[in-house]
Amino acid sequence: MSRKSLLTNRAGLTHKIGYAVRHPARITPYVKRTARDTWLRLKHPDHIAYYRAVMASDAGRNPEAAVGSRSHERWLALGEMQFDYLAEHGLRPGHRMLDIGCGNLRAGWRFIAHLHTGHYYGIDISPDILISAKQTLTTYGLQDKLPHLTITQDLTLDFLPSAHFDIVHAHSVFSHSPVEVIDECLAHVGRILAPGGFFDFTFDRTEATEHQVLREDFYYRTETLLELARRHGLEARFMEDWEKRPHGQSKIRVNNPA
């Protein structure tokens, strides 16, 4: 990730004007998205309800684009990147995995194929994207693996068992979440982590002013999220080796020292 990118405030007027000048063809789509998002925020003041509506709109047009993939090839590549990284960090078939924001199983189908039957649990706030996830299961013939796919309203994780999951994973979730949603997850994830387990999450990183764009994309300083995890008694560290991957987000790993 370039130094210039880390210092960019995408919510600033100067950046928006400069971006429009450099990419005039993107002005009309941006204006349309701004109008749509403004309407959805008026209808759904709560962020979870708002982003669920965003996902319904995006998934209705293209489920793969809704999870941030410009093409099917990119969808496959991003899923492979996530799987390979966790495999290099010790993901074994016998592990139990919770995939927060599992989407349409961009990476999830690879995890399901790798793990023992019933060991994958995916949750998402969007019923529309979970319908697409079930189609992905069918496409890859993974029905016999009996994955759990569940809709959720929040990230209290209160319906899940204590000390159960070896790996908790949230890719491109906190990049779309205000800090109170992240805090809620960090307040509860320690309870469900098995001894020796860890929680990996990606985020949009900035070294400038923390900001958001259209209440869809949120940019945080690394120390903000590390400190947030520590307040809940968790150990947290920035994953330098993830930075070598061709992905625009950064990664933090959280462990429960207890």
CATH of the domain at 234: 3.40.50.150
d(CA 94, CA 129): 27
d(CA 71, CA 225): 31
Asked whether the beta carbons of 95 and 115 are under 8 A apart, the reply is yes
Q: What is the pLDDT of residues 149-164, one digit of tens each?
A: 999 999 999 999 999 9
Question: In the 8-state DSSP scheme, what is residue 107?
Answer: T
Determine the structural domain holding residue 45 and report its residue range: 3-255
- Looking at the predicted structure, is the pLDDT value of residue 190 above 80? yes
Task: Note every long-range contact of 247-251, with CB atoms under 8 Å and residues 24 or more positions apart, other chains counting.
Answer: 247/78, 247/81, 247/202, 248/1, 248/204, 249/172, 249/175, 249/202, 249/203, 249/204, 249/205, 250/1, 250/202, 250/203, 250/204, 250/205, 250/222, 251/200, 251/201, 251/202, 251/203
CA-based max dimension of the chain: 53
Segment 222-244 shows an average pLDDT of 96
The model carries a pTM of: 0.91
pLDDT score at 214: 87
- Give the residue from 103, 109, 256, 107 showing the smallest Cα distance to 192: 256
- Looking at the predicted structure, is the pLDDT value of residue 70 above 80? no
- Looking at the predicted structure, is the pLDDT value of residue 238 above 90? yes
pLDDT score at 24: 77
Q: Lowest mean pLDDT: which of 61-70, 129-138, 197-206?
A: 61-70
Segment 171-189 shows an average pLDDT of 97
Which token pair is 38? 């403004």
Domain count of the fold of the chain: 1
d(CA 221, CA 238): 11
Q: Which of the four pLDDT bands, split at 50, 70 and 90, describes residue 33?
A: confident
